[in-house]
Amino acid sequence: MPLDLTIVDAIELPRRAALEIRTLVVESAKSRGRACIALSGGTTPRAVHEALAELSEVPWHLVHVFFGDERAVAPDHPDSNYRMAKESLLSRVPIPPAQVYRPAAEAPDREGAARDYAALLPAAFDVVILGIGEDGHTASLFPGASSLEASELCVAVIGPKPPPARLTLTPPVLERARSLVMLAVGAGKAEPVKRALEGAWDPKQTPAQLARRGTWFVDRAAAALLSAHADGSGS
């Protein structure tokens, strides 16, 4: 399968990705009457959220928002992906509050919270937005973790980075998604991006490979080691 890869300057990436997400949301709303999306945490997704909030003609009343992962913190905690999404997107667009589904990762019974969240998920997401870590992880699916073999749709995990306790969606959710949008910015992402897109297939060690079939938006620094795009060109 040919790569769906766009290489752009870092300053351009948020708007380019936001335009693609809008297209996918509009198509889903037209064909299925709603658009179910999963958001990601992190600096680059924040910038994409902010760009998306500025776009017109997004049918927000038909959008249902979920989260690819969440840290075991209160929803107003600085480390909360929900808080970041609320600040950068949800408070700035007319999404009905009942259509925002926050994982209760801070619950004492995280396994129970994971089961409860799994019960809310759509049969297939229309769009899952993802980032890639310097270790090749995506969502809170870390290299070598047992969560990479989970059959459940959402599981409680302990990650290597603080705060370690989290909930995450699992490979079956990514496999069923109609569209995956991966974001990567910075020289620190160059090696994992190369492994994810050009390395031997081994998602157990490079979980971001689970999004290889998706649409990738990568800045020039993160694309620097890609042999197929050594000239820095992109679509």
DSSP 8-state secondary structure symbol assigned to residue 66: E
Please say whether the dihedral angle defined by the alpha carbons of residues 225, 230, 232 and 234, taken in this order, is positive or negative.
negative
In this predicted structure, the answer to whether residue 228 has a pLDDT above a threshold of 80 is no
Q: Which residues of 219-228 are buried (b: 16+ CB within 10 A; e: fewer)?
A: bbbbbbbbee
Segment 29-33 shows an average pLDDT of 98
The CATH number covering residue 145 comes to 3.40.50.1360
pLDDT of 235 strictly over 60: no
Q: How far apart are CA 85 and CA 101, in angstroms?
A: 12
- Reduced DSSP (H G I as helix, E B as strand, rest coil) percent helix, strand, coil of the chain, to 5: 40, 20, 45
Q: Where are the alpha helices (DSSP H) in 123-233?
A: 171-176, 190-198
Query: Does residue 234 belong to any structural domain of this protein?
Result: no
Domain, as residue range, for 104 = 4-229
Percent of the chain with pLDDT over 90: 94
Domain tally, the chain: 1
pTM (2 d.p.): 0.95
